[in-house]
């Protein structure tokens, strides 16, 4: 791994490329120089040999055409003399042969050890080509005997432009190649020295260039880890130095930007953490990238498990919306997660995260729990409908009877009193309804206060029962189970009187002939439980929890006939809650109903009142 890392280093790459450029340049120069030098040395060598051979050819041609007397030496002897007396200045010529055209016999040779070939026909192809073509021919051969390279030259001998023979020259040219080898060695040595010096210069030059880049690389790695304290050292005022200065300025700007971004991130995180509304953010594909704790609680999910989940899947909107639909949605979307007897409704508002260019980056979803709001709104609508209905019935009755009276019924002494009596009863019913509504309105107001004081509840309760017992039906009996000890409670007597009156009135109305109403007071830790039981028709179990709602009636027709407004138990509940107690009911159909409520008390007060 270290070797690979070293080869990938820009420092090493720079030096290697620099050396390769120098090496390639010197090789090109060397090849060109050596080639030209070799051509020059070979040409000089061959020119020298040719000049000597030309002189020799002239002398031989004179002897070959000379008319001989008996006293003159033979042609072979004359050529032998010429070859023996040839110019000694050309030490590179190892052998010279003279060949006659007609017989192709060797007339003479300069090599003393090769005199046996004189008088024999030549076997050299180069000589034969020269005799036939009348043109000089040459070649470079390798002498296996001496292991040296030789240059052979065949030159025609002519007289009056007619070929009469040929001169065959063998010259040793190994010295020429030795000179070339020596020059090559000198060039290679020079190249090696130049490359060594170049390498040192390249290392120094690469270091001056890559050292700031190495510092910037280290700084970039440190910046990626969040460390902005390092600075790149500036080594000069050149382009690299200016780059280092710019890099340091960039580091400073990034540090400032990161600090600002981190601060904004903390603020956003704090805002999201302490928001009561749920916030969900998605990427441009509609997948969740952020969800705060309130949103996780509202949707009853884990923040870790919903990340990267599609928003429409998280909100259970796959059947009605696509992500593109949500991007275009401008109105709130109601999310109904209600279960039987457990309403749960959320409102989702969507806001698109969009760049100035129009590119969509994602979607922000804000969730609000509107369960209570929807419940209140439903109760308000139901309340308005109930009030309208309760007022419309007596008003309709009154209008009908008043119209009849206006049309002359008042003159009829038999029916006029009856009409007036009905009108009066309906008027009183509306007055009771309005009074009950005003009572509820006062209790709903924030500035409502109880006029409380300490009361012995047992005496208070017995006194109230005594009053109601005087006006009850003779067929209904009251039975009391009230302890003799005193329970002192801090209550508003008028309000608790109204509570007890409403409950006892209902028990009396719904009790059958010969029925019994039972009153109980029971001691419980820090509170007393008051119960009032009747033996009426009872309340269905499904309706038991609703009897304390405003305008709720189990049997609406019978309740109106008995003069009820449907607000008595609702007022009782508000008053008991205002006293710090609670109220509930138990019932068995056909056997009767029991209303319970509690009031807090303190035992110490008994000593103060004794």
Residue 149 pLDDT: 87
Give the Cα separation of 80 and 107 in Å (integer).
8
- The yes-or-no verdict on residue 85 having pLDDT over 50 is yes
**DSSP characters for 483-506?**
-SS--EEEE-HHHHHHHHHHHHHH
- The yes-or-no verdict on residue 554 having pLDDT over 70 is no
Residues of the chain above pLDDT 70, percent: 87
Mean pLDDT in residue range 417-429: 77
Number of domains within the chain? 4
Residues 411 and 510 in one domain: no
Residues 394 and 517 in one domain: no
Give domain status of residue 248, yes or no. Answer: no
Average pLDDT, the chain: 80
Of the pLDDT bands very low, low, confident and very high (cuts 50, 70, 90), residue 207 is confident
Residues 403 and 460 in one domain: no
Distance, C-alpha 289 to centroid of its chain: 8
Residues of the chain above pLDDT 90, percent: 4
Q: Would you call 79 exposed, middle or buried from its count of C-beta atoms within 10 A (0-12, 13-18, 19+)?
A: buried
CA distances from 40 to 35, 44, 182, 572 (A): 9, 6, 15, 132
Of the pLDDT bands very low, low, confident and very high (cuts 50, 70, 90), residue 210 is confident
CATH number at residue 389: 1.10.287.130
Give domain status of residue 352, yes or no. Answer: yes
pLDDT, tens digit, 9 for 90 and up, residues 305-337: 888 899 888 888 888 888 888 888 888 888 888
- The yes-or-no verdict on residue 192 having pLDDT over 90 is no
Residues 336 and 388 in one domain: no
pLDDT, tens digit, 9 for 90 and up, residues 89-101: 556 788 888 888 8
CATH number at residue 566: 3.30.565.10
**Which of these, 436, 413, 410, 12, lies nearest to 203 by C-alpha position?**
12
Residues 90 and 117 in one domain: yes
Of the pLDDT bands very low, low, confident and very high (cuts 50, 70, 90), residue 557 is very low
End-to-end CA distance of the chain: give it in Å, rounded.
Answer: 98
Residues 380 and 364 in one domain: no
- The yes-or-no verdict on residue 544 having pLDDT over 70 is yes
**Which of these, 285, 515, 550, lies nearest to 440 by C-alpha position?**
550
Distance, C-alpha 294 to centroid of its chain: 23
Determine the 3-state secondary structure of 341 from DSSP: coil
Give domain status of residue 563, yes or no. Answer: yes
pTM of the entire structure?
0.42
pLDDT, tens digit, 9 for 90 and up, residues 338-380: 887 788 888 899 988 887 777 888 888 998 888 888 777 776 7
Residues 434 and 512 in one domain: no
Give the Cα separation of 118 and 96 in Å (integer).
12
Give domain status of residue 259, yes or no. Answer: no
Residues 325 and 420 in one domain: no
Of the pLDDT bands very low, low, confident and very high (cuts 50, 70, 90), residue 609 is very low
Are the C-beta atoms of residues 491 and 579 closer than 8 Å to each other?
yes
**Which of these, 328, 333, 334, lies nearest to 363 by C-alpha position?**
328
Residues 399 and 490 in one domain: no
Beta strands in 249-400 (DSSP E): 278-282, 288-291, 333-336, 345-354, 360-369
Q: Which of 66-80, 212-226, 511-525 has the highest mean pLDDT?
A: 511-525
Determine the 3-state secondary structure of 320 from DSSP: coil
Give domain status of residue 16, yes or no. Answer: yes
**Which of the pair, 219 or 119, is modelled with greater confidence?**
119
Ranking 25-39, 287-301, 421-435, 501-515 by mean pLDDT, the lowest is 421-435
- The yes-or-no verdict on residue 14 having pLDDT over 50 is yes
Ranking 142-146, 541-545, 552-556 by mean pLDDT, the lowest is 552-556
Residues 422 and 460 in one domain: no
Domain that holds residue 320: 281-369
Of the pLDDT bands very low, low, confident and very high (cuts 50, 70, 90), residue 553 is low
Determine the 3-state secondary structure of 480 from DSSP: strand
Give the Cα separation of 489 and 529 in Å (integer).
12
- The yes-or-no verdict on residue 536 having pLDDT over 60 is yes
Q: Which of 134, 162, 179 is the last residue in one of the domains?
A: 179
Of the pLDDT bands very low, low, confident and very high (cuts 50, 70, 90), residue 598 is very high
Residues 68 and 171 in one domain: yes
- The yes-or-no verdict on residue 520 having pLDDT over 90 is yes
Dihedral over alpha carbons 13, 19, 23, 29 (to 10 degrees): 120
Residue 386 pLDDT: 67
Q: Which of 158, 179, 200 is the last residue in one of the domains?
A: 179
Residue 448 pLDDT: 59
Give domain status of residue 337, yes or no. Answer: yes
Q: Which residue has the tokens 């300069």?
A: 110
Mean pLDDT in residue range 143-159: 85
Residue 531 pLDDT: 93
CATH number at residue 163: 3.30.450.20
Give domain status of residue 221, yes or no. Answer: no
Beta strands in 87-147 (DSSP E): 93-100, 106-109, 137-143
Q: Which of 413, 444, 475 is the last residue in one of the domains?
A: 444
Residue 90 pLDDT: 57
255 Cβ neighbours under 8 A, 6+ residues apart: 228
Residue 519 pLDDT: 93
**Which of the pair, 386 or 306, is modelled with greater confidence?**
306
Mean pLDDT in residue range 540-566: 63
- The yes-or-no verdict on residue 243 having pLDDT over 70 is yes
Residues 514 and 604 in one domain: yes
Q: Which of 158-162, 256-260, 407-411, 527-531 has the highest mean pLDDT?
A: 527-531
Give domain status of residue 491, yes or no. Answer: yes
Determine the 3-state secondary structure of 354 from DSSP: strand
């Amino acid at each position: 791994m270290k070797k690979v890392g070293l080869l990938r280093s820009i420092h090493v790459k720079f030096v290697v490329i620099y050396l390769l450029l120098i090496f390639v340049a010197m090789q090109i120069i060397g090849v060109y120089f050596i080639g030209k030098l070799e051509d020059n040395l070979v040409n000089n060598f061959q020119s020298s040999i040719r000049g000597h051979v030309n002189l020799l050819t002239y002398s031989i041609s004179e002897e070959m055409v000379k008319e001989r007397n008996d006293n003159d030496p033979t042609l072979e002897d004359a050529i032998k003399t010429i070859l023996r007396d040839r110019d000694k200045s050309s030490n590179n010529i190892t052998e010279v042969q003279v060949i006659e055209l007609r017989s192709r016999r060797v007339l003479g040779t300069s090599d003393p050890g090769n005199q046996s070939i004189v008088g024999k026909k030549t076997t050299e192809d180069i000589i034969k080509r020269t005799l036939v073509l009348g043109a000089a021919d040459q070649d470079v051969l390798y002498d296996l005997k001496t292991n040296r390279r030789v240059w052979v030259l065949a030159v025609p001998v002519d007289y009056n432009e007619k070929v009469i023979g040929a001169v065959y020259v063998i010259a040793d040219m190994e010295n020429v190649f030795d000179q070339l080898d020596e020059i090559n060695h000198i060039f290679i040595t020079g190249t090696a020295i130049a490359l060594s010096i170049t390498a040192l210069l390249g290392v120094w030059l690469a270091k001056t260039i890559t050292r700031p880049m190495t510092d910037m690389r280290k700084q970039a790695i440190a910046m990626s880890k969040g460390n902005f304290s390092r600075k790149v050292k500036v080594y000069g005022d050149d382009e690299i130095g200016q780059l280092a200065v710019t890099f340091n300025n960039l580091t400073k700007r990034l540090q400032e930007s990161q600090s600002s971004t981190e601060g904004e991130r903390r603020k956003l995180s704090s805002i999201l953490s302490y928001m009561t509304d749920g916030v969900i953010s998605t990427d441009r594909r509609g997948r969740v990238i952020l969800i705060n704790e309130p949103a996780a609680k509202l949707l009853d999910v884990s923040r870790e498990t919903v990340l990267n989940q599609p928003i429409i899947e998280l909100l259970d909107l796959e059947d009605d919306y696509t992500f593109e639909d949500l991007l275009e949605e401008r109105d709130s979307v109601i999310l109904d997660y209600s279960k039987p007897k457990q309403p749960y409704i959320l409102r989702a508002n969507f806001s698109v995260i969009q760049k100035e260019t129009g590119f969509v980056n994602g979607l922000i979803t804000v969730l609000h729990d509107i369960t209570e709001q929807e419940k209140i709104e439903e109760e308000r609508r139901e309340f308005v409908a109930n009030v309208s209905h309760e007022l419309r019935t007596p008003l309709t009755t009154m209008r009908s009877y008043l119209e009849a009276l206006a049309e002359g019924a008042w003159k009829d002494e038999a029916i006029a009193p009856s009409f007036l009596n009905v009108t009066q009863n309906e008027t009183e019913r509306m007055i009771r309804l309005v009074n009950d509504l005003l009572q509820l309105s006062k209790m709903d107001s924030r500035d409502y206060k109880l006029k409380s004081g300490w009361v012995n509840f047992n005496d208070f309760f017995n006194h109230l029962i005594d009053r109601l017992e005087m006006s009850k039906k003779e067929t209904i009996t009251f039975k009391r189970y009230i302890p003799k000890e005193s329970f002192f409670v801090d209550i508003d007597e008028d309000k608790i009187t109204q509570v007890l009156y409403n409950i006892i009135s209902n028990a009396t109305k719904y009790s059958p002939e010969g029925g019994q109403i039972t009153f109980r007071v029971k001691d419980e830790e820090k509170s007393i439980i008051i119960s009032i039981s009747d033996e009426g028709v009872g309340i269905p179990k499904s309706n038991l929890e609703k009897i304390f709602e405003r305008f709720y009636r189990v049997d609406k027709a019978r309740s109106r006939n008995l003069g009820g407004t449907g607000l008595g138990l609702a007022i009782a509940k508000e008053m008991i809650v205002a006293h710090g107690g609670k109220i509930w009911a138990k019932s068995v159909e056909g056997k009767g109903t029991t209303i319970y409520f509690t009031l807090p008390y303190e035992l110490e007060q008994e000593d103060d009142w004794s």
